[in-house]
Amino acid sequence: MSSAKITTKNSKIIARISLTFFVLVNFIWLVLPFLMAGLWSLVDPKQPWSYPDILPPSLSLERWQMVWENTSLPEAMFNSYTIAPTVSLITISLSIPTAYAFGRMEFRGKKIAELLTLIPLVIPGMIIALFFSRMLLDLNISNPFVGIVIGHVVLTLPYAIRILSAGFSSVPQDLIEASRDLGASKFTVFKDVYMPMLKPSFLASIIFCLVKSIEEFAISFVIGSPDFITVPTILYSFLGYSFIRPNAAVVSIILLVPNIILMMIIEKLLKGNYLSQSTGKA
Q: Per residue in 109-166, pLDDT tens?
A: 888 888 888 887 888 878 888 888 888 888 888 888 998 999 899 889 998 999 899 8
User: Contact 80/221 with Cβ under 8 angstroms?
Assistant: no
20 belongs to a structural domain: no
CATH number of the domain where residue 208 is located: 1.10.3720.10
Residue 204 is which amino acid? A
Q: How many Cβ atoms sit within 10 Å of the Cβ of residue 235?
A: 23
With 0-12 CB in 10 A as exposed, 13-18 as middle and 19+ as buried, what is 278? Answer: buried
39 belongs to a structural domain: no
Q: H helices within the chain, ranges in order? A: 2-26, 32-41, 62-70, 73-104, 110-116, 119-122, 125-138, 144-169, 173-181, 186-189, 195-215, 218-224, 231-238, 245-270, 274-278
253 belongs to a structural domain: yes
84 belongs to a structural domain: yes
CA-derived radius of gyration, the chain: 24
How many structural domains is the chain composed of? 1
109 belongs to a structural domain: yes
* Domain boundaries, position 272: 72-278
187 belongs to a structural domain: yes
With 0-12 CB in 10 A as exposed, 13-18 as middle and 19+ as buried, what is 58? Answer: middle
pLDDT in tens, 28-68: 777 777 787 778 788 877 777 776 777 777 777 788 888 78
131 belongs to a structural domain: yes
> Structure pTM?
0.75
12 belongs to a structural domain: no
